A and B are shown apart, each in its own frame.
Chain A
Amino acid sequence: MSVMAAAAAALQVLAVLAGAPLVVGGMRQVRARLEGRAGGGIGQPWRDLRKQLRKQQITPRGTTLVFALAPAVVAGSTLLIAAIVPLIALGSPLDSVADLFGVVGLLLPRTKAESALQSTPQRTAVWVGPGSMGVRGRF
């Protein structure tokens, strides 16, 4: 483990953090062009994020800590995987902390968090609420 390795790992995490919205933006842009629209540009998801982060937060009544923590766990496990998986550098300092099974195992809590959310009324409302039957049909 050296300074270089640590720097490479940090660079990897930052690249994933900054690059992930750009990938989404790129995909949307390609799709927009294929459909004959102008599209919002590659940077649009970043602009959306900036807008969302300035909005007021609402805590729904009747939810527990799980509801508040699940998004953070999902984001955190993604960051951790970004630090472990060899994307830019091979010798990340966290390299021997987990292998492929560890990474797959880290990906799985996301499904767990998402499914746990599904059984709270908030998510259920989306599924069974009267206005959303069309949404369900489309899926």
Chain B
Amino acid sequence: MAFGLSAIFGSPRHLQVDWLLPLVGVRLDLDPLGGLFVAATGAVSVAVGIYSVGYARREQWARFPLLMLPVFVAAMLLVPAAGSATTFLLAWELMAAASLALVLSEHRREAVRSAGAFYAVMTQLGFAAILLALVLLSSAGGGDAFSVIAAHTDDLSSGTRTTVFLLTLMGFGSKAGLLPLHAWLPRAHPEAPSPVSALMSAAMVNMGIYGIIRIDLQLLGPGPQWWGLTLMILGAMSAVFGVLQASVAADLKQLLAYSTTENMGLVTLGLGAAALLSATGAPTVAAIATTAALLHLLSHAAFKTLGFLAAGSVLAATGLRDLDRLGGLARRMPGTTVMFGIAALGASGLPLGAGFVSEWLLLQSLIHSPHGDNTLLALMMPLSVGAIALTTGLGIAAMVKAFGVGFLARPRSAAAEAARESPASMLTGMALAAAACVVFAVAPALLGPTLGQVLAVLPTVGGDATGPQFGTFLRLPGVAGSIAPGLLAGALVIAVLTALGIARWGVRHRPATVAAPLWACGADALGPRMQYTATSFAEPLQRVFDDVLRPDTDVEVTHFAESQYLVEKVTYRTRLTDPIEARLYRPVVRALTTWAQWVRGAHNGSVHLYLAYGSLGLLIVLLVAR
């Protein structure tokens, strides 16, 4: 983290290590943009590291994941620091391999193995796309170092640029969990150990965004208008789809994973808007959109770390991720409940939550974009505002569900009833992340200089445009709008205290307050089965978005043999599957399996045949390379 901060404020650093890789050597180049990501990753890993001390002891981790965790963090710190395509790819693959090993650390369970296979395939496909794109880029750009490529980008043909853009968008989009390559997120994140989920969701997906900024917007950019448009559409679709799945998910960690897709969608939407705006000549508003995207990325890292760590505490204490069987944790685990509350407030994008300021900035930039007579802008901006509004509304529903059903009310299972509060080290790790959330919510001014330095190196902004002015009041240049998150928080506290004071009016004339059992409408007592569950809470939403979610519902009524007017039992079963996965992934997997069966015919186990293959291949190579 210290390295990242020094990179943002100090001079750019170079480091050349020639002995590590043959032919090219490793080249590290930290600039303010990379420094921002290094700092964010560092901050997340400090919180996760402290948390893991208690978590590993409580869950009795083996030695292997404890060993892999620092490797994973180091790889993630190397990715934004890489100064050449080769170093970047090396660090990227190291990050992917380390995270895969960590996902598989509980490999004895079948679900973990399946999630691991899914993750491995998707991440390697993404890597192949990035590899191809970077090979194209460095061969056309005349060098391997990013600085050399940047100097030669004007010579690139538009065909190369488009190919590289599409390939990198695929590769980085799959890492960032954008639609339609998001399918590994809701599988791998719930099955990985919670500190690993936190690292993956708060730090690793950021690397996808970093790749998009570095390669597409900085090295290749400024691109044509449709690049920004593509990013915006992808972002808006990911945001709405992610939050919709999150609001119907009943698995706590799956809900958080879908929420990651949502937030990365919002960040991509901001970046796309910035690219589109700077392509149409509105650098001031583009600067606001970029700031919004970067700030949202950072605040997402803070509240998602906290969310996954709190979910990990719940999992360690109860062994449950299923919201329908949790509940009543507020009494058993008050510390964790407060932490998850802060994370949920941040994720829902409400005032006093970590995500509010960045979403406010994003909305301001979209609404105040000058469109003149550009039909595209005049159409895209209001549509994006609508998408963000829908995302925020559904996000609130999802987070209220996670917090209200999971932590309030009464325990729905014996395991939830016997929950124990986490040890001090886990709480300390969570408290660090919570402190970061509060800073993002109340005093984003502290981040002002950092973001200003990063904005200065981004080409989408242009040299002369200034970003938003952070202070007690957050003011935007050229736009009539301001908020003061700190003052707002203070005023709200005063207002709530005033309301409490008014409610005490005439307290001397009242009899003393008593505690009484809950009013049960005259029935005997309330049981845990009478409460809302996560599924029933989301049922109206599921009904409204029936066409998108396509739930698989079965109602089975069994009658008594004597009379069909008497019902013996009613079975209700509902299952939610990811519609994109069913439509897009299954045909591909089926086709691949068919091909694989076909190729299998060539492998009949005969050594002679394999030798013939080898010599044939060699002959072809010799002929081609002649």
Contact = CB atoms under 8 A, between A and B. Distances in A.
Q: Do chains A and B interact in one complex?
A: yes
Interface residues of A, number: 53
Nearest to A80: B495
Interface string B506-534: 10011111111111111100100011100
Contacts of B356: 105
A98 B481 CA distance: 8
Contacts of A23: none
A131 B521 contact: yes
B487 interface: yes
Interface stretch (A29-37, A39-47, A59-67): A59-67
Interface in B321-364: 330-331, 348-351, 356, 360, 363-364
A62 B410 contact: yes
Contact of B513 (A58, A69, A71, A73): A58
Nearest to A102: B483
Contacts of B521: 125-126, 129-132
Interface stretch (B169-177, B373-381, B399-407, B462-470): B399-407
A76 B348 CA distance: 20
Interface string A81-107: 001000000000010111101100110
A115 B492 contact: no
A11 to B, nearest CB: 15
Interface in B516-560: 516-523, 526, 530-532, 537
B495 A121 contact: no
A7 interface: no
Interface string B35-76: 000000000000000000000000000000000000000000
A108 B391 CA distance: 13
A125 B474 CA distance: 45
B363 A101 contact: yes
Among B331, B488, B495, B515, which residue has the most Cβ atoms of chain A within 10 A? Answer: B495
B488 A120 contact: no
A119 B350 CA distance: 20
Nearest to A63: B518
A24 interface: no
Contacts of B400: 112, 115-116
A60 B516 contact: yes
A17 B516 CA distance: 31
A71 B530 CA distance: 23
Interface in B281-316: none
A58 B409 CA distance: 18
Identify which of B401, B509, B531 gathers the most chain A CB atoms within 10 Å of its CB.
Answer: B531
A90 to B, nearest CB: 14
A138 B516 CA distance: 29
B353 to A, nearest CB: 9
A69 to B, nearest CB: 8
Interface stretch (B2-10, B131-139, B496-504): B496-504
Contacts of A124: 409, 526, 530-532
Contacts of A96: 473, 482-484
A54 B510 contact: yes
Contacts of A98: 351, 483-484, 488
A128 interface: yes
Contacts of A116: 400, 403-404, 408
Contacts of B509: 54
Interface string B121-149: 00000000000000000000000000000
Given A97-B484, A120-B404, 10 more contacts: A50-B506, A54-B506, A66-B330, A101-B360, A116-B408, A119-B401, A119-B404, A121-B531, A124-B409, A130-B523
29 contacts: A50-B506, A54-B506, A55-B510, A56-B514, A57-B510, A58-B513, A59-B514, A59-B515, A62-B410, A62-B518, A71-B503, A75-B496, A75-B502, A77-B496, A94-B487, A96-B484, A97-B483, A97-B484, A101-B360, A101-B364, A105-B350, A105-B356, A119-B405, A125-B523, A125-B526, A126-B521, A129-B520, A131-B523, A132-B521
